[in-house]
Amino acid sequence: MDIAVSTLQWCCGDPLAWAWDEVKKQCLYCIKYKENAEAFESDATEFLEKVQRLEEAVQRSGRHSIRGELQRQLGKSTDVKNKVNVLTSDMETATSTGCISNYKLSKRIVKLRKAMMQLLQDPEFISAVSLQPQAIRPPSRVKRPDDFLYFTSRKPTMDEIMNALKDEGRSIVRVYGMGGVGKTYMVKALASRALKEKKFDRVVESVVSQTVDLRKIQGDIAHGLGVELTSTEVQDRADDLRNLFNDHGNILLILDGLWETINLSTIGIPQYSERCKCKILITTRQMNVCDDLDRQYSAIQINVLSGDDPWTLFTQKAGDNLKVPPGFEEIGKKIVEECRGLPIALSTIGSALYKKDLTYWETAATRLHSSKTASIKEDDLNSVIRKCIELSYSFLPNDTCKRVFLMCSIFPEDYNIPKETLTRYVMGLALIRGIETVKEARGDIHQIVEELKAASLLLDGDKEETVKMHDVIRDISIQIGYNQEKPKSIVKASMKLENWPGEILTNSCGAISLISNHLKKLPDRVDCPETEILLLQDNKNLRLVPDEFFQGMRALKVLDFTGVKFKSLPSSTRQLSLLRLLSLDNCRFLKDVSMIGELNRLEILTLRMSGITSLPESFANLKELRILDITLSLQCENVPPGVISSMDKLEELYMQGCFADWEITNENRKTNFQEILTLGSLTILKVDIKNVCCLPPDSVAPNWEKFDICVSDSEECRLANAAQQASFTRGLTTGVNLEAFPEWFRQAVSHKAEKLSYQFCGNLSNILQEYLYGNFDEVKSLYIDQCADIAQLIKLGNGLPNQPVFPKLEKLNIHHMQKTEGICTEELPPGSLQQVKMVEVSECPKLKDSLLPPNLIQRMSNLEEVKVTGTSINAVFGFDGITFQGGQLRKLKRLTLLNLSQLTSLWKGPSELVMFHRLEVVKVSQRENLRYIFPYTVCDYLCHLQVLWLEDCSGLEKVIGGHTDENGVHEVPESITLPRLTTLTLQRLPHLTDFYTQEAYLRCPELQRLHKQDCKRLRTNLSDYHSDQEIQEKSS
C-alpha cells in the first residue's frame, strides 16, 4: 500500500509499532531503489536460468512421471517467473525515473525478491535444478592505505601471506599479531595487490569487534557483494549469503580483528569448493583463534618492525621527505629506539612531533625512557604503545582538542563517527569558547578533526564525513578518560549489557556512554551530579525511563535517546535546566513532548522520524534554540502560530516529510510561512510547502545559505524528496511554474539553486523561459518528470539569449514526458551546457531522430554518461553537419540503452568524428533493428572498454560490424583488439553469429568473464578471444 494509505491507517488507530515500521519501510523503498534494482537484476538472472532448467527437466522426464511435490514447485516457479518478467519489463521501461516511480518499483522488487529466495532455498526445487551462477559483477577495488610502506623487514611475512593466498589447497589464512603492529594495513595492501594480479575477482571486508555482531558482519559482506539483505533474522541472512557466495566467483573475504572463534556457517560463509571459491583471510591478536577451522596450517605472525624500517616510518611522520630537521637526528634515534619497532607507537609519536621544536623531542625521549625494558613481551610492548599515545595526547595543542579526542572513544568500537554528531555534542557541552554560530562550530570541529588525523589519533571513516578510531587508541583513550581526576568518562558501548552498570549508580563521572546495548530497565534514580553527557541511543529493548531517573543528574548538557521505544518522557526531565542538546530521533512511540518547552537553555533539539503529532505551544519558550529537526515525523500535521517565530536564535530548521500545510488565510489556526521569514539568524532551511499560495506576496529576500524546498500538493512527492540523500546544498522541487512564486522567493531561492526539479508541472512548456525568468545560472542538476506540455525542452523562440544557458549544469534527467520530441534542435550560445556530465532520459515515447543532435554534442564536451530508456530515437548521437575534425565524445565513459525499438545505430554521420577514448561500460537491451553495435572503424578508440553487456537484441548479427567504402567495397581489417575488455555478457541474441567476422583475428587479452545465454547461432568460441587470462565461462 502507498505511503499516504499507511499514514491514514495510522491516524485511524492501527497498532503503532506496525504503523511506524510500515512508514519507515516506505521511505527506505525510495532511498534504496538503485541497490534493490541491482540486486533484483542479479537474482532474476539466476532465478530465470534455474526455472528454465527445471522446465527442461520436466519436459525430458514427462509430466506424468514427476512427483506431486515437484509439480507443485514447477507451478509456483512458473507463477513467480511470470511476475519477474513483468517487473523486469516495467523496470527497463522506467529505469531511474522519478522518486515516486522508484518507490513503487522498489516496493515490488523487495516483495518479488523474497518470493524468489523462498523458491531458491526450497530443497525440492534445488534438487531438480542444476544451479547456474549469475552474471559476474565487475571486480571490486580495495583501497590500499595511502601511507603504507613496503618495509624490508616485513617482506618475508608478506610473501608468506601472499603465497598462502595463492595456494589453491588453502581455504583459510590466519594472520596474528599484537594490537597496533599493522595487521590491517598489511592485509589491505596485500588484498589490493592480489586484485591487481587478478588472483581474486572481488575482495570483501568486515571488521569484527570484541562484541561479535553477526548481523553487522553479514551486512558488511552483502554490501561488499553489491546487494542488501532484506531479512532481519540471522539464519535467513545466512541462507541468502550462501547463495550470493555461490554466484560471485573467486572471492577473498577479510575478517579483520577476530577476538574469538566464530562459526562461519552461522554467518553464511560456505566451505571452499570448486563451486564456491571463497578464501578467508583472518586477522586476530590471538594465535589460537579459529584453530578449529584450519588445523593443517599454522597462523602467520606479524612481528614488530626491525632494521632501518622503524626509522623510516618515524621520519615519514615526523619529518619532511623522510628527513628530520637538522640537529634532530640523534634525539630522534633515541625516540625510535624507545618505540621498540611498533608501527602504531612510531606513527603517533612521530605525528605528534611533526613541526615541533627540539624541546618537545627531548621531552618525548625522556618520558618514553621511563618505559624502557629489555623485554619484548606483549604486556611490555603494550606499555610502550600506551606511553606513546598518552604522550601524543599530552602534545595536543589545547584542552578542546583533547576533549574531542576523548569524546571519539565514547562511541562503539570501529564506529563511523559522523562529524556532524561531534559538532553537535561539542556545542552541547560548550567546549569551544567564543563561537557565535553553528557554522563556526562546524569549522572549528573540522580543524580539530584534521589535527587529530594528522596526529595519527583518528582515521578517515568508511563513510563520507565520518572518522574512526583505531581500537588500540580507543582503548587507551577510554583509560585516559577514566583515570583523569575530573571529569571521568565511563564507556560501556556495545557490550550487550541488559542492566545498568552498578558502578555508575553513584559516581563523579562527567560522561556516560551506554550506546548500542540491550538495556531493558533503568534504575529509579542515578546520583551522578557531575555528569554532563549521557548517551543511551540504540537500546532497543528499553521501554520505560523512571520518573525520578534524572533527579541526581541535574548537570546534564547532552542527552541522546535516539531509537529508544519509550512512550513518555520522565517527569524529572524538567529538572534538566542546563540541558543544551536533546536527541529523540526515531522515538516513534513518543507523542507528548510538551515538557521539553521548560528546558529553556536547549540549543539543539532533534525529533527526526518521531511520533509527535504537533509541535507543542510550549516550544515557544525555547528562546535559545539554534537547531530544530523534525524531518520525517510523518504524524506532525500542525505547528501552532507563534511557536517558530519565538525561536529568534534559530539557525537551522529541518521540517521535510511532515508539516506542509502552512496557513493561507488569517484564521490563525496554524503557523504561516511569514514566521520563518522573521528568523533573522536562519541559514539552513529544509521545508515542504503544499501550496505556493502559502508564500507571502511581499517580503525582504532572506539570506539562506543552504536550503531544500519542495513546493507540491503531492504528499508522495514531498516524502520522496525528504527521503533522498541530498547531493547538493541548495535545492528546489516544484510543481508550478516559477512565475507563480513571489519576487523575494526567486531572489532567495531560484538565483542560488544548484538542484532544480520540476515534477507534475502541467503548464510548463519551455524550460528556457524558466531559466531566464529564474536566473538559474547556479543549477548543476536539472530533473524534469511528468510535465506534459513540453514539446522541445529548450526552445529559443523569437530571440537568441545573449548569455550561456545552464553553464554549470552537470546532470540532466528527463522522465515520463509524453509530448517531448527533442531536447533542443537550435544553436545555443557558446558556453551553454558545457559542464554536462550525465544525460538520462526515460519514457519519452515521442522523442525521435537523434537524442543528442550536432548542436548539443558540440556543446557537451564533458559528457561522461548517457542512459536512455523507452524512446523512439533511431540514433543516440547525431554528427551530421559537424564540419571540424577534432573528434567528439572523448570523455564518454558509460552508455546504457534499453527498450529503444526504433534504434538502428548508435550515431548518424561520419565515423571519424566518433572517438570513444574513455568508454568503459556499454549496456544494450531490447533493440530489434540493430545489426551490430560498433563498426570496426571505431575499434581503435575502444581502448578503455571494460564491460560489454548485450541482451534481447533480436536483430543483432555481430558485435562489431564491417565497413563498406564509397565504392561499395567491404573492408575487413586483419585484426581487432579490445585491450581492456574484462567482462562480456551475451544473452538472448537469436541471430548473433560472430563477435566479428571470422576472417579477422580477434584479441581480448584481459577478458576474464564470459556469460552466454540463448545465443544458439554464435560461432565465436572461447579460444577465439585470445585472452591471456583464464576465462570463467557461463553458458546456457
Could you give the number of structural domains in the chain?
6
pLDDT along the chain (1036 residues), means of 10: 44 48 66 75 76 60 42 68 76 63 78 78 55 29 45 88 85 87 86 82 84 85 82 84 74 86 83 67 81 74 90 87 80 89 89 87 83 50 85 90 94 93 96 90 93 91 91 91 79 91 78 94 92 94 94 95 94 96 95 95 96 95 97 92 95 95 80 94 96 91 94 88 80 91 92 92 85 88 89 79 89 92 89 94 90 90 93 88 68 92 85 82 87 84 91 90 60 80 92 82 89 89 87 76
Check residue 142 and give its pLDDT.
36
Are 462 and 365 found together in one domain? no
| Residue where one domain finishes, among candidates 301, 326, 347 | 301
Check residue 147 and give its pLDDT.
44
Using an 8 Å Cβ cutoff, are 689 and 677 in contact?
A: no
Q: Would you say residue 362 lies in a domain?
A: yes
C-alpha–C-alpha distance, residues 961 and 935, integer Å:
5
- Provide the 3-class DSSP secondary structure of residue 425: helix
The DSSP code for 142 is P
Q: Would you say residue 726 lies in a domain?
A: no
Are 371 and 435 found together in one domain? no
- The predicted model scores a pTM of 0.78
Q: If 0-12 CB within 10 Å is exposed, 13-18 middle and 19+ buried, where does residue 261 land?
A: middle
Q: Would you say residue 858 lies in a domain?
A: yes
Taking alpha carbons only, the member of 585, 661, 574, 667 closest to residue 621 is 574
Are 88 and 179 found together in one domain? no
Check residue 130 and give its pLDDT.
36
Are 783 and 867 found together in one domain? yes
Please provide the distance, in angstroms rounded to a whole number, between the alpha carbons at the two ends of the chain: 38
Are 440 and 324 found together in one domain? no
Check residue 548 and give its pLDDT.
95
In terms of DSSP bridges, do strands 730-734 and 558-560 run parallel, antiparallel, or are they unpaired?
A: unpaired
Q: Would you say residue 288 lies in a domain?
A: yes
Using an 8 Å Cβ cutoff, are 594 and 571 in contact?
A: no
Are 332 and 431 found together in one domain? no
| Residue where one domain finishes, among candidates 459, 475, 491 | 475
Q: Would you say residue 74 lies in a domain?
A: yes
C-alpha–C-alpha distance, residues 442 and 465, integer Å:
12
Are 122 and 217 found together in one domain? no
Using an 8 Å Cβ cutoff, are 927 and 956 in contact?
A: yes
β strands within 600-648, DSSP E:
604-606, 627-629
Distances (CA, A) of 309 to 341, 385, 821: 8, 17, 66
What are the grid coordinates assigned to 241, written together? 549469503
Neighbours of 309 (CB within 10 A): 19
Are 289 and 167 found together in one domain? yes
Q: Would you say residue 771 lies in a domain?
A: yes
Q: Would you say residue 522 lies in a domain?
A: no
User: What is the residue range of 73's domain?
Assistant: 32-128
| Residue where one domain finishes, among candidates 374, 394, 414 | 394
Q: Would you say residue 406 lies in a domain?
A: yes
Using an 8 Å Cβ cutoff, are 414 and 468 in contact?
A: yes
The 3-class secondary structure across 428-483, one letter per residue, is HHCCCCCCCCHHHHHHHHHHHHHHHHHCCCCEECCCCCEEECCHHHHHHHHHHHHH
The CATH number given to whatever domain includes residue 457 is 1.10.10.10
| Sign of the four-CA dihedral 350, 356, 358, 363 | negative
Cis status, amide bond into 801, omega within 30 of 0: no
Check residue 3 and give its pLDDT.
46
Are 288 and 319 found together in one domain? no
Using an 8 Å Cβ cutoff, are 859 and 832 in contact?
A: yes
List beta partners, residue 284: 176, 258
C-alpha–C-alpha distance, residues 450 and 460, integer Å:
10
Are 353 and 457 found together in one domain? no
DSSP, residue by residue, 183-200 = HHHHHHHHHHHHHHTTS-
Phi, psi of 428 (to 5 degrees): -60, -35
Check residue 176 and give its pLDDT.
87
C-alpha–C-alpha distance, residues 886 and 910, integer Å:
12
Are 435 and 335 found together in one domain? no
C-alpha–C-alpha distance, residues 628 and 389, integer Å:
38
Distances (CA, A) of 725 to 103, 627, 708: 14, 19, 11
Are 287 and 319 found together in one domain? no
